[in-house]
Structure 1
Amino acid sequence: MSLPPIDPTKTAAGIALDPQTLERVIPESKRPDGSVRKQIKIRPGFTPQEDVRRFRGTKQTQADANQLPKGHIIGWAPPPTSTASNSTGKALSKNAKKRAKKREKKEEEPVADNWEDDDEAPSPPAAPRESSHTTASSDNDGSALASKLDKLNVK
């Protein structure tokens, strides 16, 4: 494989666009003995072998685009910069919005405090009770709760 041209306006074969005539030419150059090579005109539509790109099918080009960068560790993902907007800036499709909501819901699930209870089946969440108590009875509930908490303290 050849190196890229030093002058970016030239192709790998040395073909450049002549600014005066706007034709593709190989510019004149000097030989090691000091003599000068003439400028060579290139026929329109001709592509030398050095300038022909290697053929890549659609699946190959897509695989190259999705290829991980060199040195990437599999399974590691950089922390997200923003969770509210997507990184591409395009509008999300209906299914992508659903997946994002599921992801957010999954992140919000509480983590169990006691990992020893993993063997047992998780209990269903308790339904909120509607209290028909007066404010005086709610104060009693608060004091009962406080007394229970005092019993739990390790001294």
Structure 2
Amino acid sequence: MSLPPIDPTTSASGIAVDPQTLERVIPESRRLDGSVRKQLKIRPGFTPQEDVRRFRGTKQAQMDVNALPKGHIIGWTPPPSKEADPSKPLSKSAKKNAKRREKKANDKKDDEPVKDSWEEDADEAPVAAATQKDELTTNNNEAPPPDAVESLSSNMKKLDVR
């Protein structure tokens, strides 16, 4: 026989099983004024009125099991889910579309790392964009290198307000 739990569950009336003596008791409690109520033993077989469950016949119990949820409209069926049944094989185009959706979701996740705060982003981006812009304007007649243009455009994307 296993031992009862250290923190026994209590019934609606407050009766619990004492883990040391395995008797049913109402555990001691503290009153508002600070005094302590004694632990009360409960006679074997006694069930207080609070713990007595309502009698339900077999037909009544079956009706409770088959009852519709509250607010249910008779004849209404929920719309079918967007995901296809796993038992049905997907068509060629459906497989291709699923791969596209997965790739698109992965691309969105990998786009930008999450910043710790907005303040860091606001402080760094304009300074970096301004310094790179100055580097591009120093060479008046020459075309800027492609790396500088890409880095400048990426910084400008960060500055866009959405």
Which TM-score tier does this pair reach, normalised by the shorter chain? 0.3 to 0.5
Between structures 1 and 2, the one with greater helix share: 2
User: Which TM-score applies when normalising by structure 2?
Assistant: 0.43
User: Which TM-score applies when normalising by structure 1?
Assistant: 0.45
